[in-house]
Amino acid sequence: MATATLKSAAYTAPDAAKPSARPWFFTRPAAKTGLVSWLTTVDHKKIGLLYAVTALFFFLVGGVEALMIRVQLAVPNNTFISHQLYNELFTMHATTMIFLAVMPLSAAFFNYMMPLQIGARDVAFPRLNGFAFWVFLVGAIVLNVGWFTRAGAPDVGWFGYAPLTSTAYSNQFAGDSSTDLWIMGLQILGVSSVIGSLNFIVTIINMRAPGLTMMRLPVFTWMTLFTAFLIILSFPAITIALVELMMDRSFGTGFFEVAKGGMPILWQHLFWIFGHPEVYILILPAMGIISEILPTFSRKPLFGYPIVVFSGAVIGFLGFGVWSHHMFTTGLGTMATAAFSLATMAIAVPTGVKIFNWVGTLWGGQISTRTPMMFALGFIWMFMMGGFSGVMHSAAPADAQQQDSYFVVAHFHYVLIGGSIFALLAGIHFWFPLVFGRIVSEFWGKLSFWIIFIGFNVTFFPMHFLGLNGMPRRTAVYDGNMGWNSANLTATIGAFILAIGIGIYFTVIVYTYLKGKKATGDVWDARTLEWSVPTTPPPEHNFHITPTVHARDAYWYEKTHAKEIAAEKEKHAQEEESHGGIHMPSQSWFPIITATGMLIGGLFFAHHHFLGAIAGGCVMLIGIIGWAFEGPGGYHLHIAKDGTVTGGEGQDTH
């Protein structure tokens, strides 16, 4: 070891710069705890937690919105809330759940788990990663700020079909800025998603540990990659559509204005060529999580790994060719309807393949039904049902009756709650011991699972019948003579059971975080690299020694080949130290400053105060300039043989 220390000293000494030589505003913050550490963080794990906490907050907000909707619909001719408020609630419930809950919660897992799964120390662009989060938060604020204004929250539906979004149809009582806020909020969220995705793509392509070939990637990482590609390819469509709509509303252009010869149908094509891949953006991460949990709790590799990966790619690819199945009733004509009908059926094949492979994974395994596994099994059942009602929609003539009815509401809640949310809740339980070093109580975990499972089905199963019995979506009130009373009341009761389940789930999570049973290390006898971290929670640099990957389930291989791996690690430790130690990125104030500029600019622009918008743009520009000129930063950490870490910000710079 003596030579290694000597080498590292020899390497770092000449570069040791004096931090005081830099102007104060270019000094990189060094706080590792406290508020500043969170505001300036570039650590993918802290950013992941920021995403998770924000997403869970908005998940609860969206849940309260859903409960208000269900209370209004509990009985016919109800007067609990007004039509206007109802319209705002269903618009914001969807927008919140999609963009502010499920997507960022997936992003939380991408951020936290993906670098660990590929044996990296951080993402490729750490400051950009922080920026993506702050921009997301800005978008969330802009979307929701309407609740506190006279114009109210957006009320055009999460799909914002033109020409209802036109100024001509906005609320005549108030200078209606709610649609402008919706446009601006989604646009800003798009920036966040695209930035985050580019970061993940570059990270996965470039920063895999030695030996981690693409066909050895954990399935969750594969799904991260596919999701990221879906985001960067689909968001430009909605970006263009939103820019055009913004032009229509702010500067009097006529892209979607009927009176000016605009084409409202164009909006639907642009929206759904984004909107359909978006569906897979919501479900692929969930499939990734499930594909990690099932093998772990079956103690057996994923059945048909290459097919699962390939089917993920096929889903992503076909996902761009089925958007018009959201538009079967818009008068596409026979040929287009037939083509999109068949393409939609085709997408059932790779989806079915995944289910077959998950069942195959269970087959012959040693299944332990711990809480994460319960959610994962629940996922398979519920997702299967959502998938089958999806096949029913793919038959366009049947869809003519189902489109915009409660049947569709039942379908996508089966895929989005029974699918995405179940998987994300499974993921939280699964990785909780890794992230917090504490484990959730089996009893309370399973109790919350069963209440959520029952509540979910009681809420959404009757909606199939409501839809088939002719109840349209997005209706604030219905008459008592339509045969919808008992199914609606059942659904509302179910919604409260579901809410109780979610309440227990979160109470238990918070309790466990504060006072739960300590659990360290590889609690589940897991298979992938994130569990090979030296401590739980993982240290900022993730791995003392960059792992080398020899097989698909890399950590399982490490555990079964302990001796040879130990020797290899010893060698790598020396090599790494001889290269100057572990290189870590420096924290920065500029991501949050730049994002603040977007907040100011976005809010002013949405209210058509263009001077204010320019002021916001200036703040943003200052942030970007500072970002560009503060220098690359970075510092080194050194790991002693006993695991003690030395070095840090300001102690040794590049």
Q: Rule CB under 8 A: which of 83-102 touch another protein?
A: 83-84, 86-87
Q: Where are the alpha helices (DSSP H) in 540-609?
A: 554-560, 562-578, 590-606
Q: Does 364 bind another protein (CB under 8 A)?
A: yes
| Largest interatomic CA distance in the chain | 87
| Interface stretch with another protein, choices 39-47, 263-271, 444-452, 492-500 (CB under 8 A) | 263-271
Q: Does 240 bind another protein (CB under 8 A)?
A: no
Under rule CB under 8 A, how many of the chain's residues touch another protein?
106
From the list 337, 371, 532, 536, which residue makes contact with another protein (rule: CB under 8 A)? 337
CB 84 within 8 A of CB 478: no
Catalytic residues: 93, 122, 158, 192-193, 276, 278, 280, 291, 325-326, 351, 354, 473
From the list 78, 239, 250, 548, which residue makes contact with another protein (rule: CB under 8 A)? 78
511, β-bridge pairs: none
Nearer to another protein, 121 or 552 (CB): 552
Is residue 381 packed enough to be buried (19+ CB in 10 Å), middle (13-18) or exposed (0-12)? middle
Is residue 316 packed enough to be buried (19+ CB in 10 Å), middle (13-18) or exposed (0-12)? buried
Q: How far is the CB of 317 from another protein (least distance, A)?
A: 16
Q: State how far the Cα of 453 lies from the Cα of 505, in Å rounded to an integer.
A: 12
| Interface stretch with another protein, choices 207-215, 217-225, 333-341, 632-640 (CB under 8 A) | 333-341
Nearer to another protein, 131 or 531 (CB): 531
| Interface stretch with another protein, choices 182-190, 478-486, 528-536, 574-582 (CB under 8 A) | 478-486
Residue spans of beta strands (DSSP E) within 451-581: 517-518
| Interface stretch with another protein, choices 13-21, 44-52, 188-196, 295-303 (CB under 8 A) | 295-303
What SS3 state is found at 126?
helix
CB 41 within 8 A of CB 47: yes
Q: Rule CB under 8 A: which of 106-165 touch another protein?
A: 155, 157, 161, 163-164
Q: How many residues does the chain have?
A: 654
Q: Rule CB under 8 A: which of 47-76 touch another protein?
A: 76
What are φ and ψ of residue 402, in 5° steps?
Answer: -90, -35
From the list 264, 537, 612, 648, which residue makes contact with another protein (rule: CB under 8 A)? 264
From the list 342, 566, 567, 621, which residue makes contact with another protein (rule: CB under 8 A)? 342
Q: Does 487 bind another protein (CB under 8 A)?
A: yes
CB 284 within 8 A of CB 351: no
Q: Does 640 bind another protein (CB under 8 A)?
A: no
Nearer to another protein, 4 or 81 (CB): 81
Is residue 335 packed enough to be buried (19+ CB in 10 Å), middle (13-18) or exposed (0-12)? exposed
User: Nearest 5°: CA angle at 435, between 580 and 227?
Assistant: 85
Q: How far is the CB of 93 from another protein (least distance, A)?
A: 13
Q: Does 317 bind another protein (CB under 8 A)?
A: no
Q: Rule CB under 8 A: which of 370-429 touch another protein?
A: 377, 380-381, 384-385, 388, 391-392, 394-405
Q: Rule CB under 8 A: which of 546-575 touch another protein?
A: 559
Q: Rule CB under 8 A: which of 524-543 touch another protein?
A: 525
Q: How far is the CB of 537 from another protein (least distance, A)?
A: 22
Give how far the C-alpha of residue 518 lies from the chain's centroid of Cα atoms, to the nearest Å.
Answer: 28
Find the helix or strand (DSSP H, E) in which 305 lies: helix 305-318
Radius of gyration, CA atoms only, the chain: 26
Q: What's the token pair of residue 499?
A: 């809410």
128, β-bridge pairs: none
Q: What's the token pair of residue 535?
A: 């401590």
| Interface stretch with another protein, choices 141-149, 340-348, 505-513, 606-614 (CB under 8 A) | 340-348
Q: Does 500 bind another protein (CB under 8 A)?
A: no
